[in-house]
Amino acid sequence: MHSSTSSFDFQRPIPAQPWRTLLLTALLLTAAGTVAWEISARARGYAPTLNDTTDLWADRREAVQPDSVVILGDSRPLFDLDLDALEQGLGRRPVQLALAGTCVYPILEDLLNDERFHGTVICSVVPGMFFAPGGPLLKNAEDALHRYHTRTVAQRAGHHLGMFLEERIAFMKQDDLVLSQLIAQVPVPSRANSYLPPLLPPYFSTMDRERRARMTEACAQPGPLQDRIKHGWIPLFTPPPFPDYTPKEVLAGLAQTVEERFGKTAALVKKLQARGGKIVFVRFPHSGDLKKLEDAGTPRSAAWTRLMNETKAPNLYYSDHPDLVFECPEWSHLSGPDSVEFSKRLVLYLKAALAR
pLDDT in tens, 102-120: 999 999 999 999 999 999 9
pLDDT digits (tens, 9 = 90+) for 118-161: 999 999 999 999 999 988 999 999 999 999 999 999 999 999 99
Please write the tens of the pLDDT for every residue from 285-343: 999 999 999 999 999 999 999 999 999 999 999 999 999 999 999 999 999 999 999 99
CATH number at residue 96: 3.40.50
231-288 pLDDT, tens per residue? Answer: 888 888 877 666 666 677 777 777 899 999 999 999 999 999 999 999 999 999 999 9
* 171 inside domain: yes
> Can you give the pLDDT at residue 106?
97
The number of folded domains in the chain is 1
Task: Classify residue 119: in a domain, yes or no.
Answer: yes
In a domain, 111, yes or no: yes
Whole-number pLDDT of residue 171: 82
C-alpha–C-alpha distance, residues 213 and 57, integer Å:
13
Q: How many C-beta atoms surround the C-beta of residue 325 within 10 A?
A: 12
Q: Helix %, strand %, coil % for the chain, to 5? A: 50, 10, 40
Tell whether 349 is covered by a domain. Answer: yes
Task: Give one word for 245, left, alpha or beta, with left for phi > 0 and alpha for psi -120 to 50.
Answer: alpha
Within a domain: 238: yes
Separation CA 219–CA 176 (nearest Å): 16
Enclosing domain of residue 273: 54-180+200-354
Residue 166: which of 43, 50, 59 has the closest Cα?
A: 50
The rounded distance, in Å, linking the Cα atoms of 108 and 113 is 8
Residue-wise pLDDT for 49-97, tens only, equals: 999 999 999 999 999 999 999 999 999 999 999 999 999 999 999 999 9
CB 25 within 8 A of CB 182: no
Domain assignment present for residue 2? The answer is no
Q: Is residue 151 part of a domain?
A: yes
pTM for the whole thing?
Answer: 0.86
Residue 10 domain-assigned?
Answer: no
Tell me the pLDDT band of 181, cut-offs 50, 70 and 90: low
